[in-house]
């Protein structure tokens, strides 16, 4: 690969893509009923934020954004492990995965 090709992509395009993916994840978080799918929407939002971090890291020509993106990945892995364990426990106690039926805290 030559080090630089004539035409590039504007940085704003990457940020716009990141915003669209985040909005999709937020919309899915609000409209889906299945606990596992709601959880996957959170992962999509984290991914969108990672794209922003890496794009800004390119823009500033510094590696720091990659580090933040790496830490977000680690937090996502920890969150997935604990969250899926909680989902297992909810299913064991209530035998349902629908968020509408887990409403003990409702007045």
Partner 1 sequence: MVDLLLFAFFGGLAVICGIVMITQKHPIASALSLVGAMGSLAVLYLLLGAEFIAAAQLIVYAGAIMVLFLFVIMLLNAGAEPKPMRPSWIAVAVGIPAVLVMFAMLARLIASTVPMDSLVRFGGFTGGSAKDVGNAIFRQYLLPFEVISVLVLIAILGAVVLARKEMD
* Interface with partner 1 (CB under 8 A), residue from 19, 49, 94, 107: 19
13 binding partner 1? (CB under 8 A): yes
96 CB-near residues (< 8 Å, 6+ apart): 90, 102
9 binding partner 1? (CB under 8 A): yes
**Quick one: tokens of 61?**
């020509």
Binding mask 36-55 for partner 1 (x = CB under 8 A): xx-xxx-xx--x--xx--xx
Half-sphere exposure of 94 (CA within 13 A, CB side): 15
Site for partner 1 in 52-81 (CB under 8 A): 54-55, 57-59, 61-64, 66-67, 69-71, 73-81
Query: Residue 18: how many CB atoms within 10 A of its CB?
Result: 20
12 binding partner 1? (CB under 8 A): yes
28 binding partner 1? (CB under 8 A): yes
**Dihedral of the alpha carbons of 90, 93, 96, 101, in degrees to the nearest 10:** -80
């Amino acid at each position: 690969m030559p080090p630089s090709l004539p035409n590039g992509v504007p940085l704003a395009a990457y940020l716009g893509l990141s915003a669209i993916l985040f909005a999709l994840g937020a919309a899915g978080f609000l409209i889906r009923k299945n606990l596992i799918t709601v959880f996957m929407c959170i992962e999509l939002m984290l991914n969108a934020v990672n794209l922003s971090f890496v794009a800004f890291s390119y823009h500033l020509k510094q590696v720091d954004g990659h580090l933040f993106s790496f830490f977000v990945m680690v937090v996502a892995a920890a969150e997935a492990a604990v969250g899926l364990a909680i989902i297992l426990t909810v299913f064991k106690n209530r035998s349902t995965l629908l968020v509408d039926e887990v409403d003990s805290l409702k007045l």
